Chains A and B, each alone.
Chain A
Amino acid sequence: DTGVSQNPRHKITKRGQNVTFRCDPISEHNRLYWYRQTLGQGPEFLTYFQNEAQLEKSRLLSDRFSAERPKGSFSTLEIQRTEQGDSAMYLCASSPRLETQYFGPGTRLLVL
């Protein structure tokens, strides 16, 4: 399977803990995106990378969130001091061009 992969698929953590998610994009896709989706809503844009450069961060991405894409390959999204409001599905997507984004299966986070 050469699609976008995300790990872990599920994460349960206690409030105040730090969590890190990984996204492996489709090989040679230089654009990478993170979205967050809460129950019953469509995904919301969080941040965008072109190669290793983080070009935009949504205001949804508070200072407890940080994303990296070292060497323009895989990406990580870290949430520090998790809160119950952070419970959501975190989706990663990649694309070679602007027209089409290919999404991974997501990481479902539950903060207790």
Chain B
Amino acid sequence: DAKTTQPNSMESNEEEPVHLPCNHSTISGTDYIHWYRQLPSQGPEYVIHGLTSNVNNRMASLAIAEDRKSSTLILHRATLRDAAVYYCILRVANDYKLSFGAGTTVTVRA
């Protein structure tokens, strides 16, 4: 499986944007970039995914580098509820498995 690299942890202030980086230098042309997050004592929750173009939804934005070797998840205004572990995952097209790494633990300060 293609591997992703994320920082272990990040801190943010409430109501400020959060930019979560993810490196995936071995990504192949058919790998989708997925982000999930896991709040304390809950199962993972889908955040966003993309292939080549930047994506926006009600939860976040995904900015994908032109060479696709890195991407950034953007939380536009962090709230205390956004404190979670965020996972950047590469999913091979037509594959159903998600290969989670250790993720980035995001702490939001009030």
Listed in ascending order, the chain A residues whose CB lies under 8 Å from chain B are 4, 31, 33, 35, 40-45, 48, 56, 91, 93, 95, 98-106
Besides A43-B44, A98-B95, A105-B41, 9 more A-B contacts (Cβ < 8 Å) are A4-B43, A42-B87, A48-B96, A91-B44, A93-B44, A98-B91, A98-B96, A99-B32, A106-B43
Report yes or no: A101 in contact with B98, Cβ–Cβ below 8 A. yes
Please classify how large the interface on chain B is, using the bins under 10, 10 to 19, 20 to 34, 35 or more.
20 to 34
- List chain A residues, Cβ under 8 A from B87: 42
- List chain A residues, Cβ under 8 A from B17: none
Report yes or no: B46 in contact with A100, Cβ–Cβ below 8 A. yes
Q: Min CB distance, A39 to chain B, in Å?
A: 11
Give chain B's interface secondary structure class: loop
A56 to B94, CA, bound (A): 14
Q: Min CB distance, A8 to chain B, in Å?
A: 15
A100 to B99, CA, bound (A): 14
Report yes or no: A31 in contact with B96, Cβ–Cβ below 8 A. yes
Query: Whose C-beta in chain B lies nearest to the C-beta of A3?
Result: B43
Query: Whose C-beta in chain B lies nearest to the C-beta of A100?
Result: B46
Q: Min CB distance, B31 to chain A, in Å?
A: 13
Residue B15 interfacial (CB < 8 Å): no
Name 28 A/B residue pairs within 8 A (Cβ), A-sorted: A4-B43, A35-B98, A40-B102, A41-B102, A42-B85, A42-B100, A42-B101, A42-B103, A43-B44, A44-B100, A45-B99, A48-B96, A56-B96, A91-B43, A91-B44, A93-B44, A95-B96, A98-B91, A98-B94, A101-B44, A101-B46, A101-B98, A102-B46, A103-B44, A103-B45, A105-B41, A105-B42, A106-B42
- List chain B residues, Cβ under 8 A from A95: 96
A18 to B102, CA, bound (A): 30
